[in-house]
Amino acid sequence: MRDKLLSLAALQRVDLDIAALQKNAEAYPREMAELEKQLAAAKAAVDAERSKLEQLDSQKRSLEEEITEGKDKVRKWEARLAEQRSTREYSALAREIDIEKKGQQTRTEDAQEFGRQAGIQRELLKAKELDFTTTTQGLVAKLDVLRGKLAEVEAQVKAVDLTRQESAKAVDARLLRQYDVIRKRRTPALVSVVAPGTCGGCRMNIPAQRFNQLVASRGIDTCPACSRMIYAAEVLEEPAAK
């Protein structure tokens, strides 16, 4: 029975190694997600500034198109002035020309203001893009480091998984099934009991008779409190040299 216990204990050591590696690796995806979030936020900030510039340029172009169209209308209307036969028609057309010219002046001033704002925004965007480039380089470098660490741990877990497969082959099939069922609920699944009879998992007391039977049988039992597999600690101790 001691040999079976040794095989099961060896398997659990491998499982604990795997669990430790996986726990260490848990932080990497969270850290990577946070860095990617920072990257997205930095990009969104630059995109927002670029959108402001595009809007200013668009408004300026729209006004310039209106100014060009207005100038064409004024030229046509001025050409028609000489053709007017009545004073009323002449005055009405002249009034339209005057209104359009005043509108042209307002639109010209607005276009100039949009151009001025666009110039300021363009410089601001350049500064933001420079900051973004610097920030991106730093965040990407950190991401690359984390990806490397995660890949390294995943490779270690894969290698240890192969070791587990080999270790599991040496374990009694019935004990292995019991162990795997418990391991899914709590770890470690196999714990020692030390005198005067304390479960190494839940720290609850094992009845004296049960503990004595465990020592005498040198086998495996189940903790009545936490349902872990238990064994007497001295069973796995190296035999004293003669």
pLDDT at 238 (0 to 100)? 54
pTM above 0.75, yes or no: no
Whether the pLDDT of residue 112 is over 60: the answer is: yes
The model's pLDDT over 175-232, given as tens digits with 9 standing for 90+, comes to 999 999 999 999 999 999 987 789 999 999 998 888 888 888 888 999 999 999 999 9
Whether the pLDDT of residue 240 is over 60: the answer is: no
Whether the pLDDT of residue 169 is over 90: the answer is: yes
Residue 193 CB neighbours (<10 A): 25
CA–CA separation, 218 vs 108, rounded Å?
99
CA–CA separation, 53 vs 82, rounded Å?
45
The model's pLDDT over 121-166, given as tens digits with 9 standing for 90+, comes to 999 999 999 999 999 999 999 999 999 999 999 899 999 999 999 9
Whether the pLDDT of residue 172 is over 60: the answer is: yes
SS (H, E, C) 64-111: HHHHHHHHHHHHHHHHHHCCCCCHHHHHHHHHHHHHHHHHHHHHHHHH
Domains, the chain, with CATH or none: 17-169 (1.10.287.1490), 173-236 (no CATH)
